[in-house]
Amino acid sequence: MKFRKPALTIQPTTLWDYPSQHYGEGVQGDPAYKGATPSYIIWNLLKRYTRPRQLVVDPCAGSGTTLDVARDLDRRALGYDLAPTRQDIFRADARELPLEDAKADFVFIDPPYSTHIHYSDDPRCIGKLDAATSDYYEAMDAVFSECGRILRPDRFMAVYVCDSYVKGRGFYPIGFELFGLLRRRFTPVGIIAFVRHNRTLEMGNYRAAAEEGNFFLRGFNYLLIMHKAGSAPAGGRKKARAATPSSKPAQGRKRAAGKPNRRTKRARGRRGSGDA
């Protein structure tokens, strides 16, 4: 029996769960890419915080999931990575992006979480930096500085990240540490817990090791949503389009434009701040 993916819907709470890596009939990004971002997360973020034709930037583009989701939603997209996996991702260090100041309408980044995955042989790769050292956090602070530089005022960004546990060495609260760094530059909007559907979480040997060793397997990722202060252009911010999936098929992927359309309407991303 073929697995049926749930419908695309805006998540209204701070606990998000979607059992598939991809939405719809196809895939976004490469299913074989280790550490790929669940595309449903990016879909939710772009529906909330962007409008059609606005520019979405991913400084650690990986297999291109952000680019595919952005184009599905008629957003323009730019992706950068030290080890590009396809032609529409540009080779660049996330700490030094080849983009002018204040050009992005939204920035999404799913960075390395310490040294758990081998992303690249490039010595500059942040995935070679251990979260037990200050080098990792200094590198990520430089990345956040670049995110702030390229992001337009009164716009939003999001960071998808997970804590780290190394047997015999201990626990590293990467999510909390990065949140602290982000608060130096941005205003917090929300902290989302996204349920991980990692296959290892269901493997008997992993679960047995966690029980016997009295440690925890990582059951969720953080989604840290931040706002860059600044004034909206003349006319003020306009409310984002209703958060309902389009009934029209995707129009095909378009190559990213390096320069945003200045006539693009601004998104109103902030919603209510209640805890209901």
d(CA 82, CA 89) in angstroms, rounded, equals 9
CA-CA-CA-CA torsion sign (199, 204, 206, 208): positive
Domain count, the chain: 1
pTM metric for this prediction:
0.78
d(CA 45, CA 66) in angstroms, rounded, equals 11
Let me know if residue 276 belongs to a domain: no
Let me know if residue 248 belongs to a domain: no
Q: What is the pLDDT along the chain (276 residues), one digit of tens a residue?
A: 455 788 889 999 999 998 888 898 888 987 777 778 899 999 999 999 999 999 999 999 998 999 999 999 999 999 999 999 999 999 999 999 999 999 999 999 999 887 677 777 888 888 788 889 999 999 999 999 999 999 999 999 999 998 888 877 888 999 999 999 999 999 999 999 988 776 655 555 656 766 676 666 767 799 999 999 987 654 434 433 333 333 333 333 334 444 444 334 433 333 333 333
Let me know if residue 4 belongs to a domain: no
Q: Residue 120, Cα to own-chain centre: how many angstroms?
A: 19
d(CA 113, CA 132) in angstroms, rounded, equals 11
Let me know if residue 22 belongs to a domain: yes
Tokens standing for residue 11: 């998540």
Let me know if residue 235 belongs to a domain: no
CATH of the domain at 175: 3.40.50.150
Let me know if residue 5 belongs to a domain: no
Strands 267-268 and 220-227: unpaired
Q: Where are the beta strands (DSSP E) in the chain?
A: 15-16, 55-58, 76-81, 89-91, 104-109, 151-161, 164-166, 170-172, 187-195, 220-227, 238-239, 267-268
Let me know if residue 262 belongs to a domain: no
Let me know if residue 272 belongs to a domain: no
Domain that holds residue 226: 15-230
Q: Residue 89, Cα to own-chain centre: how many angstroms?
A: 16
